[in-house]
């Protein structure tokens, strides 16, 4: 081999090494410019204070459950910013509330990490869900869409069965769907509304986990979505806050029960995140106008900023993490 060929070969190998190192060090590129959501991918440092829009926001309302695709500004779920590196190759995930918010961010991230994904959502959320399905398929992964109401135990059982059938198995369960509605006083909270919140946020995870357990092998992961409300509850979210505190406890209790089986159970506790929950009855006009302004960054978080947490909790590299609740609340909310 002459000297010129030796030099060329060294350059190629060196370039490959740098590329591999870059992927290993930076599997997630959370890189929207401050001028708009998902406008560019960047390897540079980003200022979290100016990364996304800040209040004041124009108060907007949609009929419950609301659509992310009709929000202004539109939430960033990582559609153009999340870059995977094969961390979940071959895995099979079921995500409730996968049409928008943290569920959508997790679905996009999982697909880009190599997982096949089934999402559940309400029929009214079909437009958002179809966008997620298209994004999953664009990564060459299986996408299974299963609409339905989680308040029915029979549907929860069928949801798991359909997900297992469509994906060819199941080893990640993300229980993320939730109902959040503002009530200024407990006197204004009807038994029907209270029951709706409890069944969506607490009964559904109970039914889903029971149905999924026979399919989960050692190494599988269960992830619940809690909230800053579990630690610092708002007076007008009495029923929702109760369910999120319960989610923290179910994560910690179930982790001890399922640990000997090799199944990890963890949770994510978001703070003020810009999702349809807020504009479809989950917040007041006054709160919406300054939403997220109370945080250290002076802005609400975006679902995309939590996608990598859901990936980490499902990844085999987090094999010693169970019974943990990972916060993402802009400096607020943890005990």
Residue 52 dihedral angles phi and psi, to the nearest 5°: -135, 165
Structure tokens at 300: 């609400």
Taking only Cα atoms into account, the Rg of the chain, rounded to an integer number of angstroms, comes to 20
* Measured distance CA(273)–CA(256) in Å, rounded: 30
Q: Where is 173: in which H helix or E strand?
A: strand 172-175
Give dist(CA 263, CA 205) in Å, integer.
Answer: 16
Tokens of 231: 């630690």
User: How many CA atoms lie within 13 Å of 251's alpha carbon, on the beta-carbon side?
Assistant: 30
Q: Catalytic residue at 110?
A: no
Give 3-state DSSP helix, strand, coil % of the chain, rounded to 5: 45, 10, 45
Catalytic option among 52, 231, 240, 326: 240
Contacts of 219 (CB under 8 A, 6+ apart): 171, 262, 263, 316, 319
**The token pair that represents 226 in the structure block:** 């809690």
Secondary structure letter of residue 217 according to DSSP: P
Contact 82, 112 (CB under 8 A): yes
Question: Number of C-alpha atoms within 13 angstroms, CB side, residue 61?
Answer: 10
3-state secondary structure 93-142: EEEECCCCHHHHHHHHHHHHCCCEEEEEECHHHHHHHHHHHHHHHHCCCC
What's the token pair of residue 298? 């002076």
User: What is the Cα–Cα distance from 308 to 224, expressed in whole angstroms?
Assistant: 15
Residues constituting the chain: 335
How far apart (Å, rounded) are the C-alpha atoms in residues 222 and 323?
10
Q: Which residues are catalytic?
A: 240
């Amino acid at each position: 081999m002459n000297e010129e060929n030796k030099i060329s070969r060294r350059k190629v190998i060196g370039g490959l090494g740098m590329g591999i190192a870059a992927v290993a060090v930076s599997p997630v590129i959370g890189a929207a410019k401050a001028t708009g959501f998902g406008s560019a991918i960047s390897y540079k440092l980003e200022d979290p204070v100016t990364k996304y829009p800040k209040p004041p926001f124009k108060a907007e309302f949609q009929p419950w459950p609301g659509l992310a695709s009709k929000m202004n500004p539109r939430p960033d779920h990582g559609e153009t910013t999340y870059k995977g590196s094969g961390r979940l190759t071959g895995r099979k995930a079921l995500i409730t509330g996968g049409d928008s918010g943290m569920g959508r961010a997790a679905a996009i991230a999982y697909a880009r990490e190599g997982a096949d994904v089934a999402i559940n959502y309400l029929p009214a959320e079909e437009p958002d869900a179809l966008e997620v399905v298209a994004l999953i398929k664009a990564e060459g992964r299986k996408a299974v869409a299963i609409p339905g109401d989680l308040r029915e135990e029979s549907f929860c059982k069928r949801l798991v069965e359909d997900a297992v059938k469509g994906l060819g198995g199941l080893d990640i369960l993300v229980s993320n769907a939730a109902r959040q509605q503002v009530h200024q006083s407990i006197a204004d909270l009807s038994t029907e509304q209270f029951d709706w919140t409890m069944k969506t946020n607490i009964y559904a995870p109970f039914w889903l986990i029971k149905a999924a357990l026979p399919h989960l092998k050692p190494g599988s992961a269960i992830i619940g979505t809690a909230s800053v409300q579990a630690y610092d509850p708002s007076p007008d979210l009495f029923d929702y806050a109760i369910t999120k505190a319960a989610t923290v406890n179910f994560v910690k209790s179930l982790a001890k029960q399922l640990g000997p089986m090799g199944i990890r159970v963890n949770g994510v506790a978001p703070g003020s995140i810009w999702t349809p929950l807020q504009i479809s009855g989950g917040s007041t006009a006054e709160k919406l106008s300054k939403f997220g302004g109370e945080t250290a960054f002076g802005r609400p978080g975006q679902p995309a900023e939590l996608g990598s947490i859901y990936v980490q909790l499902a990844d085999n590299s987090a094999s010693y993490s169970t019974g943990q609740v990972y916060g993402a609340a802009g400096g607020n909310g943890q005990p």
